[in-house]
Structure 1
Amino acid sequence: MQTTPLSPEDPAQIGGFELLGRIGQGGMGQVYLGESPGGEPAAVKVIKPSVVDSTSRLRFAQEIDILKTVWGARIAQLLDADADSDEPWLATEYVEGPDLGKHVMTHGPLPALLVLSLGATLAEGLGYVHKQGLLHRDLKPANILLGPNGPKIIDFGLAVFAESSASLTAANTVVGTPSCMPPEQATGVKPLTSAVDVYALGAVLLFASTGHLPYHANNIHVLFHMVTDPATTPDLTGAPPELVPLLAAMLSHQARDRPTVTEVVQQCRALVEAQGLKLAQARRRLTTYTVAPPQDFPTLLPAPVSQDVVPAPPTLSDQTDAPLSDEAPSAPTSAQESGSDGQRTMFLTSPYQARQEEPPVRSEPAAPAPQTAQDEQDKAQDAPRLARPDGRSPARSLRHSAQARRTAQQLREAYAARAAF
């Protein structure tokens, strides 16, 4: 998350947390980057003094109670809170990374494979929330943080218990983000069900894959009409074809027509596996892609090369088009990478490092030695093997030449003399 300096009116500490900078702000409060006495980073949310009244305190206390109840790897965990303080506050786990909205606006939509991984991860996280009898009710791109350990869901300020028809909202008032809000929430239907979070997740995944939400209008009243009108279908323009059926189902007008969060996980998993990957692999790629600049990873979609396969050294046939040179090819070192298909192979050590010795020094070719009786005998032995049926002079074979055998023997003797064993 992007942090800005504190302003003069900001407190230096609250609840024992030292405040280091501003993370963001909302209608009810300011969010700071804080640090506990033990050095633990935290996101500290403080209610603005101008809005502190009995209703805001009650709503804030409800958010704290919900954060005490909810759990899961995809939820930013509650660290501490005080709803009765002069300035009510709560501190949650700090997630180092941008929210989904900022990431997509900066780097563009995610590839389809990564959207499926995101969908499975968030749907599973929402499943844990629903098992506690809770609904988030305000899932949107800004409430998905892309941290180094994967995406996390934040801001349970509008969360409610699923079976409750009670609300702190005034009569005829709808709270939430209209562009991610399902029709039943927009029309004030009570009680709501887990299908509201499925719809909102569909809107989040649509945004992740296209950069736009299901409905968009400059006028809030027009937007509400589009959301609640059964004849106005969500805008799926630009969505990858393999995602369209799932997104259309999640954004169904009727809550009963939407899949459950468990079914969303299963469908995302099936689509990922159809591309030859396991879901855990896709999740690791999602985290890598969102933590580092996307341009550093030009190809994340093909199946990874097995780590157990060691690339074979290039053969003579692999280099037929390479220019000839008197210089010996340099051996790859630990800092060199090879591969022209987007897959990068790292050599751990060079062949010379593996033997813990210096590379042989290449000297100028020596003058040819005078022919000896042994040379004449070797040539006589090689002649029948190298003769050609057409009577033309045979091409020399490095493998069978007497000179190559002598050179190999000399090298073996030199290495044997220098070996430490």
Structure 2
Amino acid sequence: MRDDDPQTIGAYTLVCRLGAGGMGQVYLAESPAGQQVAVKVIKPSVLDEDSRARFLPEVDNLKTVYEPFIASFVAADAQAERPWPAVEYVAGPDLPAFVTERGPLPLVETASLGALLAEGLGTVHEAGLLHHDLKPQNILLAPHGPKVIDFGLAVLAERRSVLTATGWVVGSVLCMPPEQARGEHHLSPVADVYALGAVLLYAATGHYPYTGPSRQAVALKIEDPDTPPGLSGLPPRLEPLISAMLALDPVARPALVEVTAELVQVMAEQGLTAVQAKRRLTDLTAGTAPAEPPVLPRTTGLPNGWTGYTPTVVDAACGVFIAPRIAERPTEERRVAEQGQTRYPPGAPLDCGRLGADGHAPLPP
């Protein structure tokens, strides 16, 4: 947390920053009863009265969605000075973090990921919602399967600034379908099908359908019928499906039920049921996620330069690890060895975001 961060949002106490994006800042927060949630505080720059009004029905629709692979909606306030939604906290890395650290997913695991996400998206579409910004960063790899996040924020991302003054689309262009890249407002569910195809291509290869030196260059490639998507490294068995999902013409893209059926067939050809393939996916990704939500360190000034440590766990989002340790008085040798310091003010706070090799927080100046 930073000095300018709020301490509370609604009834929730903010604990730490989880990340940030074009829409706003995301925090880990706790309810009065101890439930941990992810709260996204929307930037004032993306708000107007129209976007607030559009956000309300999105919230109402989100309340009706109960899908194991969609992060559950918890609460929201569209009328706050800075509107915010809160969803369940998902303990696990996003897809880019996993691919960067461990490499692309194998064929079966990619098929399982795609089938689970397609099924989850289908449920949300039935509730009258589209995602509009599906991308690897919005796929979290939870211990029991993937979770899609950031539903309900599309109406804020759409709002009055869909196009910049130069006419270019604002958004995550790397996974954006051509019709959205052109600035069309009335999208159909196959817009999410295109984005899911881009996500699966990334999961299996580590790259996107189109790349370029700028957002504008990528958008031009997406809209160009003479520039096919780059599928290098994609398992041949997935090429027909991913190509269809990335079709320039929305009518040519398969429905989500067709995507699910084809991916289940891929698993069957490898001698696995969908349940067995899902287990292989979660076994592969489980080692990257903490077993439970983090309990962040609470440090307070102790007399005579003593420091206190609270048990916590590794958390990919917060980047924090502190081993269980009782309060101890730092020695002169430790001060000199760690930071070359000779003074340690009594009661000075610790910086828990930077840790020494022994798991200690560094001493303040």
Scaled by the length of structure 2, the TM-score of the pair is 0.73
CA drift at 1:59:
5.0
CA distance in 1, matches of 2:125, 2:45: 34
State how far apart, in whole Å, the 2-side matches of 1:178 and 1:283 are: 29
Match of 1:352 in 2: none
- Counterpart secondary structure, 1:277: coil
The alpha-carbon deviation at position 189 of structure 1 amounts to 3.4
Q: Give secondary structure in 1 for the equivalent of 2:210.
A: coil
* Structure 1 gap ranges (5+): 1-5, 161-166, 295-421
Residue of 281, 285, 298 corresponding to 2:280: 285
**Cα distance in 2 between the residues matched to 1:146 and 1:293:** 8
Residues 155 and 171 of structure 1, relative CA distance in 2, 3 Å threshold? closer
- Matches of 1:204 and 1:183 in 2, distance apart? 15
CA contact (8 A) 2:58 2:129 kept: no
User: What is the one-letter code of the residue matched to 1:137?
Assistant: H
Equivalent residues of 1:66, 1:159 under 8 A apart:
no
Kept in 1, the 8 Å contact 2:139–2:146? The answer is yes
Cα distance, 1:40 vs structure 2? 1.0
Q: 1:282-320, CA deviations, whole angstroms, 9 ceiling, x for partnerless residues?
A: 1111112112159xxxxxxxxxxxxxxxxxxxxxxxxxx
**1:259 aligned partner:** 254
Query: 1:20: how far off?
Result: 0.9
Shift of 1:127: 0.7
- Structure 1 residues 220, 85: closer, same or farther in 2, change over 3 A? closer
In structure 1, which of residues 17, 23, 26 is the aligned counterpart of residue 21 of structure 2? 26
Deviation at 1:69, TM superposition (A): 4.0
Which residue of structure 2 lines up, in the alignment, with residue 168 of structure 1? 159
Query: Matched residue of 2:237: which SS?
Result: coil
**Partner of 1:209 in structure 2?**
204
Of structures 1 and 2, the one scoring higher in RCO (CA 8 A, sep 6+) is: 2
Which runs of no fewer than 5 residues in structure 2 stay unpaired? Answer: 290-365
Contact 2:162 2:170 in 1 (8 A): no
Within the candidate set 64, 68, 71, 2:63 is matched to 68
**Is residue 163–residue 170 contact of structure 2 (8 Å, CA) maintained in 1?**
no
What is the CA distance between 1:191 and its match in structure 2? 2.7
Do the aligned partners of 2:61 and 2:127 also contact (CA within 8 Å) in 1? no
CA contact 1:76–1:153 (8 Å) conserved in 2: yes
Matched, 1:239 2:234: yes
Q: Distance in 1 between matches of 2:232 and 2:162?
A: 36
Deviations 1:156-203 (A, max 9, x none): 24546xxxxxx6344756343111111111113353211111110000
Paired with 1:287 and 1:171, the residues of 2 have a C-alpha distance of 37
- Residues 49, 179 of structure 1: CA spacing in aligned structure 2 closer, same or farther, 3 A cutoff? closer
The question of whether the paired residues in 2 share the 8 Å contact of 1:44 and 1:90 is answered with yes
Report the Cα offset of residue 86 of structure 1. 2.9
Offset at residue 103 of structure 1 (A): 1.1
Q: Distance in 2 between matches of 1:93 and 1:243?
A: 32
Counterpart pick for 2:271 among 273, 276, 282: 276
The alignment of Structure 1 onto Structure 2 pairs a total of residues equal to 283
RMSD of aligned residue pairs (Cα, Å): 2.1
Give 3-state SS (helix, strand or coil) of 2:76's partner.
strand
Alignment of 1:324-403 (within 5 A): none
